[in-house]
A and B are shown apart, each in its own frame.
Chain A
């Protein structure tokens, strides 16, 4: 049990994909959060949001309700639905993700993690070409050139450079983006590139890396970047490219570079367990995202079965949202459809989606009130801790309780 300790207790911050596990939380005499040590501003806000006064554990149409009644109603909604959608998952633990996949299977639904929408879709590029990647320690200890491509980790992953020990003598940081971001301000070299020119620039770099002559002459900054990467013994590209084609171009460039030198790429995922959501789904079904259980076995198709698509097509007729705020994140047409169908929401915070939900559970926050495992943005499993106590149930407990209430399996309903 968490207890008051003036020296603090160890904690792990799940505020972004870096999952810093060197945090100390000082718990006050009344069991509240008194002080955070080694957190960044993003981490401070993340903890603050999760210890803020929270709505009732269970709400029906925004009004406080008995937990049991809310669980009954959630199960009824999901059992009734012909095409339920399970969405989110990137901010909960692997344990809860396992329960969510099992539930999606039991109700014959579509399950899709929020990661591809929030971080950019690299799934098709991975399936087409593969990847070269590494854990953070490899990049910290070996990469002579670090390229940050269309990402602003100083804002989104504030401790990234501290953890990679950048800047450092003899190592170069190159930033490619459309404007001079906070990250660009720390770079040894900044390459200004409008977003729509990603594919062109990545393809040009491929030609330069492969030493294929190209006309007209390449603009000097791209030529310099290619030369830097070719010349290093070990390099890393940290990115947040958005679309399938951009991701494909990036993966192709990394593959070309690997014939010349040792290069790895890592996507800077925002959510602490976005990687875990894809991992759990992949080990249980064979596919990392956009999986449908409607036919009794997993099928996947990122274009056809992503959450945004099944909502925009008007197919989804109920949604189970776990630790995510899709009403804020989805494209407008998909969000409008989501608003029109019954939502069951699990979140430690009071989000727009929770507020609009037919059934909303305010759950214990992983990393604050609940221990568990998350997979960091580089795939490394890291344990979350529970420095504070709560009487609220965890995501996995709510999911298990809903599953237990599904009176009949899907086959019987058909």
Chain B
């Protein structure tokens, strides 16, 4: 039992914005009150928020591990010693698993979504998550280039819903992700891609895939709607594809990943321009839609994506290391280490577009913070991003350093005065993502919520404030005390439960026999060490 005494509490889900009050924790949950003998943390002069929730990051699995192996030079410069509570490891933009868990916790984040899991690799993802301490984690299954699902969309669309539910159950997944639907399949065939939603791929089109899978996810009532990485990522003029995708969704709920990378004007092959205002406007007018920004931060990053054709373009930009990895039936993967430079036109424009989206956003609940870690930058850069949003003077100073032609293409020079409040930061970093994910026990401090709490010293320098939380409590247990990691227990797997008709298994068995090189019976994850401890979140509840 623990009483956090007299902090300024920011709990936007419950309408609390800076009120000085106590937060009581017992048996892993937030409670109304605890007895007088409960342990106390004096939070006077401090800011108390729910633990952070990262809605879109890449932290575990074969793609992340391939990137780790690619960058020994990053690891050499950032080694972490073993201690009484920590395993050793290495950092950089793609830290080892243990270090990923510790550093998220030290940043005040307690829940993270791995955004792109090839279902065939679920065991690998789960094993890495088991070695990623403290944080609770969920993962999204890549389903936008799955040939077996394409076949069902063509021949037996009524089965699609059951097939998706089967896949989620077989892997321990939480939600459904589409990445460049159709485009990755063409890449794996012969280095191709799609350019519009109506290009033909294996008897379907990206539009048909988006409609069918978004519809099935909606019918299943998954707690998180379909999570879409649109076609034409990074391509000048792609804002039209993004809006076309949104129109195709026709009022169904959807979450758009790293929308900054999909908000570019200009002509394909030419220089990109900003279309952030149009995208922000559209999002504002469509309450069924949400997005995370995918902010680019100047400095080192590692791009890693299921959108393999995009990686090939980046390879040609950097001329450096490049990994391509094709997964049968399901997806592709590309990795390119990358540095964003403030003097570079495209990089500065991407940086500016991200900030425009944040500053023009009408509803922080539906446009939440991400860097698409580590694609736009490491999660360790979130505190700096928070300062850019909260501190206009700091932002303007940074603007002056960035490529001027790029910044002129944005509306940032119109002196957008907006400064995010602490309440808005609490929304875009925890309350909003938790709500969009359908995690009812996360992202708030009302009775019954998980006892995941972050306590910051109130400081004028918001970057310092958010980089070094004073205390972090996970599941009721103090894991960071006075800025030091004091305990590192295992987090939980967050997985969805969605009912399906068993008859779909025979349909899928036939697909597996034709397409996969593992047996149908080998595919579902059954190993308890991979699946436990887990929390089941049921589908089908009203959103």
Chain A contacts of B85 at CB under 8 A? none
B65 within 8 A of A: yes
Interface flags for A278-306 (1: CB within 8 Å of B; 0: not) read: 11101111111000010111111000000
- Given A21-B522, A297-B89, A382-B522, A373 contacting B326 (CB threshold 8 A): no
**Would you give the shortest CB distance from B89 to chain A, in whole angstroms?**
6
Interface flags for B110-152 (1: CB within 8 Å of A; 0: not) read: 0000000000111110011001000000000000000000000
Q: Which residue of B88, B121, B123, B190 contacts A233 across the interface (Cβ within 8 Å)?
A: B190
Which residues of chain B (511-531) have a CB below 8 Å from chain A? 515-519, 521-522, 526-527, 529-530
Give CA–CA (A262, B321) in the complex, Å: 17
Report whether B79 and A94 are in contact in the complex, using a CB–CB cutoff of 8 Å.
Answer: no
Q: Which residue of A22, A105, A380, A382 contacts B88 across the interface (Cβ within 8 Å)?
A: A105
Query: A121-129, A212-220, A333-341: which one contacts chain B?
Result: A121-129
Closest to A379 in B: B62
Q: Which residue of B80, B121, B189, B518 contacts A21 across the interface (Cβ within 8 Å)?
A: B518
Q: Which residue of B69, B71, B326 contacts A133 across the interface (Cβ within 8 Å)?
A: B326
Give CA–CA (A264, B328) in the complex, Å: 13
Report whether A287 and B72 are in contact in the complex, using a CB–CB cutoff of 8 Å.
Answer: yes
Number of interface residues of B (CB under 8 A): 59
B312 within 8 A of A: yes
Give CA–CA (A300, B324) in the complex, Å: 24
**Would you give the shortest CB distance from A25 to chain B, in whole angstroms?**
14
A309 within 8 A of B: no
B325 within 8 A of A: yes
Chain B contacts of A140 at CB under 8 A? 517
Chain B contacts of A375 at CB under 8 A? 124
Report whether A283 and B131 are in contact in the complex, using a CB–CB cutoff of 8 Å.
Answer: yes
Give CA–CA (A169, B65) in the complex, Å: 37
Closest to B120 in A: A380
Q: Which residue of A10, A255, A371 contacts B527 across the interface (Cβ within 8 Å)?
A: A371
**Would you give the shortest CB distance from B218 to chain A, in whole angstroms?**
30
Report whether A135 and B323 are in contact in the complex, using a CB–CB cutoff of 8 Å.
Answer: no
- Determine which residue in B69, B70, B526 has the highest number of CB atoms from chain A within 10 A of its CB, and name it: B69
Report whether A297 and B82 are in contact in the complex, using a CB–CB cutoff of 8 Å.
Answer: yes
B335 within 8 A of A: yes
- Given A136-B328, A261-B190, A297-B79, A284 contacting B516 (CB threshold 8 A): no
Give CA–CA (A163, B518) in the complex, Å: 10
Chain B contacts of A286 at CB under 8 A? 68, 71-72, 75, 89-90, 92, 95-96
Give CA–CA (A134, B333) in the complex, Å: 10
Report whether A285 and B190 are in contact in the complex, using a CB–CB cutoff of 8 Å.
Answer: no
- Given A131-B324, A284-B131, A126 contacting B88 (CB threshold 8 A): no
Which residues of chain B (49-90) have a CB below 8 Å from chain A? 60, 62, 64-65, 68-72, 75-76, 79-82, 87-90
A-B contact count (CB 8 A): 178
**Would you give the shortest CB distance from A298 to chain B, in whole angstroms?**
6
Interface flags for B89-101 (1: CB within 8 Å of A; 0: not) read: 1101001111000
**Would you give the shortest CB distance from B92 to chain A, in whole angstroms?**
7
Give CA–CA (A138, B328) in the complex, Å: 5
A132 within 8 A of B: yes
Chain A contacts of B189 at CB under 8 A? 142, 233-234, 262
Give CA–CA (A382, B81) in the complex, Å: 33
A50 within 8 A of B: no
Report whether A134 and B75 are in contact in the complex, using a CB–CB cutoff of 8 Å.
Answer: no
Chain B contacts of A261 at CB under 8 A? 190-191
Interface flags for B185-212 (1: CB within 8 Å of A; 0: not) read: 0011111000000000000000000000
Shortest beta-carbon contacts, A-B, top 7? A137-B328, A286-B90, A381-B123, A134-B326, A286-B75, A297-B79, A233-B190
Of the A-B pairs whose beta carbons lie under 8 Å apart in the complex, a sample of 30, sorted by A's number, is A10-B519, A12-B522, A127-B70, A130-B321, A130-B335, A131-B325, A135-B328, A136-B328, A138-B327, A141-B328, A141-B515, A163-B517, A234-B190, A258-B191, A258-B312, A261-B190, A262-B187, A262-B188, A278-B69, A279-B62, A283-B68, A284-B98, A286-B92, A287-B69, A297-B88, A298-B88, A373-B123, A380-B121, A381-B124, A382-B518
Given A261-B190, A379-B121; 20 other pairs, CB 8 A cutoff:
A95-B529, A127-B69, A133-B324, A137-B515, A163-B517, A262-B187, A278-B69, A280-B127, A283-B96, A283-B128, A284-B131, A286-B96, A287-B72, A296-B82, A298-B88, A298-B89, A298-B90, A379-B62, A380-B517, A381-B124
